[in-house]
A and B are shown apart, each in its own frame.
Chain A
Amino acid sequence: MIHLNNVSKRFRHPDGGWFDAVRATTLSIAEGEIFGLIGFSGAGKSTLLRLINLLERPEAGAVLVDGQDLTRLSASELRRARQNIGMVFQQFNLLANRTVAENVAFPLEIAGWNRADIALRVAECLEVVGLTDRAEHYPAQLSGGQKQRVGIARALAPRPKVILADEPTSALDPKTTQSVLQCLADINARFGVTIVLVTHEMGVVRAICQRAALLDGGSVVEVMDVKQGEVQALSSAARDMLEAA
């Protein structure tokens, strides 16, 4: 579903030097998979995630999502492709002056859906995340966990094939984290959406990922399988890092 082919990204320091956020990286993520990107802060995991929907444009390499190389698209083609890739954020990034229902409707308005279809789809998505009774509330009236579930409903609304989740539980307490992860796992199971999830917590990877890439210094150290809630690291470098974490 997602193929990153030799992608790299660097940022300019204020002092003029360069910082290699992602070094030439190749990664394949299968359809229907929940894939984790894990590493310490500064390892390049968020940048790698943001390369997948081209919020960051790579200096080199190709980004294939659902068979399409996003780096070759025009601005309007890229906008259409992005409607097929939902995104969930650590800080939720909901629109404060829109109700819950209007937030979930937002990507559908952008995609040009008609009113009646929007209303139906919004109701469905709020049902999926269990927030039907909060439809007319504003984000400021919700708890953190509820806000993130609105974020997930919003990402799910346009029936995307992929959802990118950038530290979706890092602003939440442990109990709320469990319910939000459960919500993501549900969506993956029910609709077959491929989910790529950035986290710095092994617990999150163990809870819902099938595979995870361990990142360090902008490179993938190892792509690990997760079986029965255990992360299977083969290389010693990966094992050392997991011990330290």
Chain B
Amino acid sequence: MEAITFAEAWSNLVLLGPEIWQACLETALMLGIGLSAAVLLGGPLGVWLYLAQPGQILANRFVAGLLGWLVNLVRSFPFIILMVSLVPLTRLIVGSTIGPVAAAVPLSFAAIPYFARLVEQTLREVPRGVVEAAEAMGASPLQIVFKVLLREARAGLVNALTILTISFLSYSAVAGVVGGGGIGDLAIRYGYYRFQSEVMLAMVLLLVVVVQIIQLGGNYLAARLDKR
């Protein structure tokens, strides 16, 4: 491979501009679906997992064991294997196995238990006494969840979502390789298969910047929400 000048590299990237933009949109779509599923399904699952622990308000050894086992089961799959094994399900739900929407199915599948575990861990930081005070005041389990647990843990929950987003940004790159599209896919196709290292480099730099922005944004929001 011959070295190219900076000017040549830049003009290659400019030529790829529309495709890079397209890849960004695909990544955003995959992440958007995956994270929404994680929050909407994994969030409640995490709350339930927490409440079912011994000593909590919905303590149930059987439920806690079953939910914990399920979460661990899905989380123990290497992502690429999860993706391949979910191909039939993906085809059933989306009607296709390629494209960002199809890739979002295994992403969601992986993100739901991941976020559930993060939520459960975060809720453990809420002091037991505060929950007990709410019980003593006659709060119902739903009121305890929304008015006490989620509110008291809100900064930690933002941190959990930040971790989830960054992890799944890189998972989405893996999903891209098997036909999902997105930034990771673009980096592999041009940077690896066509030996255009400048594309690989540019995509990695782009991801570095995006990760920094997500982390800074998450930290800022968590600090604003934390009054402890």
The complex places the Cα of A111 from the Cα of B127 at a distance, in Å, of 23
Q: Which residues does B use to contact A, with CB under 8 Å?
A: 127, 129-130, 132-140, 143, 147-148, 151-152, 154-155, 225-228
- Chain A contacts for B132, CB-based, 8 A: 55, 89, 93
Q: List 29 A-B contacts (CB under 8 A).
A: A76-B140, A79-B138, A82-B136, A82-B137, A87-B133, A87-B136, A87-B137, A91-B127, A91-B129, A93-B127, A93-B129, A93-B130, A93-B133, A94-B133, A95-B151, A96-B130, A96-B227, A97-B151, A97-B152, A97-B154, A97-B155, A97-B226, A98-B151, A107-B137, A110-B137, A110-B138, A110-B140, A110-B147, A138-B227
Q: Are A107 and B227 touching (Cβ within 8 A)?
A: no
Chain B interface main SS type: helix
Q: A residues within 8 A CB of B129? A: 89, 91, 93
List the 8 closest pairs (A to B, CB-CB), nearest first: A82-B138, A93-B133, A79-B138, A87-B136, A96-B228, A93-B129, A138-B227, A83-B138
Q: Report the Cα distance A71→B136, complex, angstroms.
A: 15
Q: For the complex, is A106 an interface residue (Cβ under 8 Å from B)?
A: yes
Q: Tell me which of B127, B133, B140 contacts A79 (CB under 8 A).
A: B140
Interface hub of A76, A80, A94, A96 (most chain B Cβ within 10 A): A96
A 97-114 contacts with B by CB, 8 A? 97-98, 106-107, 109-111
In the complex, which range does the number of interface residues on chain A fall in? Answer: 20 to 34
Question: For residue B226, which residue of chain A has the nearest CB?
Answer: A97
Main secondary structure of the interface of A (DSSP, over half): mixed
B residues within 8 A CB of A131? none
Could you list which residues of chain A lie within 8 angstroms of chain B, going by C-beta atoms?
A: 53, 55, 76, 78-83, 85-87, 89, 91, 93-98, 106-107, 109-111, 138-140, 154, 158, 164
A-B contact count (CB 8 A): 73
Min CB–CB distance B129 → chain A (angstroms): 4
Q: How far, in whole Å, are A111 and B139 apart by their CA atoms in the complex?
A: 8
Partner of A109, one of B130, B136, B147, B228: B147
Find out whether the CB atom of B228 lies under 8 angstroms from the CB atom of A83: no
> Is B138 in contact with A140, judged by CB distance below 8 angstroms?
no
Residues of B contacting A139 in the complex (Cβ-Cβ under 8 angstroms): 227
Q: Which residues of B contact A94 (CB under 8 A)?
A: 130, 133
Chain A nearest CB from B154 CB (Å) reads: 6
Contact among A81, A95, A111 with B130 in the assembled complex (CB-CB below 8 Å):
A95
- B147–A106 CB distance below 8 A: yes
Chain B residues with CB under 8 Å of A76's CB are: 140
B143 CB contacts on chain A under 8 angstroms: 110
A95 to B132, CA, bound (A): 11
CA of A110 to CA of B138, assembled, Å: 7
State A96–B228 Cα separation when bound (angstroms). Answer: 5
User: Which residues in B have their C-beta under 8 angstroms from that of A93?
Assistant: 127, 129-130, 132-133
